[in-house]
Amino acid sequence: MPLGISTLCTIGKTFEKINELVNTGIDVLEIMDDWRDRLTKRRIDLLNDISNSFEIEYTVHCPILDINIAATNDRVRKLAIKIIKDSMEKARNINAKIYVIHPGFRTPLENFVPNINKNLNILSLKEILHYGEELGLKVAIENMPARTRCLLQNVNEFFELEEEGISPYIVLDVGHANTTSQLEIFLSKLNNKIIHVHLHDNYGIEDEHRVIGEGNINWKLVKSYISFDKIYGVVENNTLKEAKISFKKALQTLKS
């Protein structure tokens, strides 16, 4: 498995820290295309120069700040989709192997109009996935953590997508799945859909993004289901220092 680091750990300063990230021995770098780290032509050229000089591949994480593809305000929802489509085009320009998409989240209107956000989320995902096909970009949907307003927290919600004609690739966020107590069911029921994993630890309550081994996640279970010769994976931690430690732990735990 190409194994690397998500730029979550350098959010807002990624392109100031890019040399340090590249020189950590990673196979893959996941770029969070958001906020001060948004992909621009200059940054795209830089990333292409890096990939030509180093054996590094890219995945790209969609913008998530203030973005809700299930928004009940149609103008907001359409703008969110436009922002993501623009990001997808930039991901294609750095030959990203996978584009990670977040589902939308519930709004207070769902208290009065049941399933409105769920249905709008499906509508938006269909449009985004279709656009990915047009671009030749492999788009995968990430599972979300418990105790949030986010949709797609559990396996049944992914099965419901299939009932709506959506059969997506999945980014298994191991930490998120631990907060919903659904890690094993994701691994066993949706294993053939998983093409990418986000690796971080917690104690099953909060989405803490701890270093691998500093929580209660059963990493032997993860390794028993995931073929780490074929699937992309990145560690997702809060600081670059933690990400470097977590990356080494991932190499030891999952690729040994």
For 152-199, the pLDDT digits (tens) are 999 999 999 999 999 999 999 999 999 999 999 999 999 999 999 999
Selection from 185, 177, 176 nearest residue 225 by Cα: 185
Length of the chain: 256
Residue 137 pLDDT:
98
Looking up tokens 């080494």, which residue turns up? 248
Residue 45 pLDDT:
98
Average of pLDDT values for 3-14?
98
Looking at the chain, list the stretches that DSSP marks H as alpha helix, in order from N- to C-terminal side.
18-22, 41-53, 74-93, 116-135, 155-163, 174-179, 183-189, 219-225, 240-254
Residue 230 pLDDT:
80
Within 8 A by CB and 6+ apart from 223, the residues are 253, 254
For 20-50, the pLDDT digits (tens) are 999 999 999 999 999 999 999 999 999 999 9
Per-residue pLDDT at 87 exceeds 90: yes
For 110-159, the pLDDT digits (tens) are 999 999 999 999 999 999 999 999 999 999 999 999 999 999 999 999 99
Average of pLDDT values for 91-103?
98
Q: What is the pTM of this model?
A: 0.97
Within 8 A by CB and 6+ apart from 179, the residues are 145, 146, 147, 202, 204, 205, 206, 207
The 3-state DSSP class for residue 176 equals helix
Residue 220 pLDDT:
95
Looking up tokens 């996640």, which residue turns up? 217
How does the average pLDDT of the chain come out, rounded? 97
Per-residue pLDDT at 255 exceeds 90: no
CATH 3.40.50.12160, applies to 3-254 = no
pLDDT band of residue 227 (cuts 50, 70, 90) is confident
Average of pLDDT values for 61-88?
98
pLDDT band of residue 229 (cuts 50, 70, 90) is confident
% of residues, the chain, pLDDT over 90: 96
Domain ranges in the chain?
A: 3-254
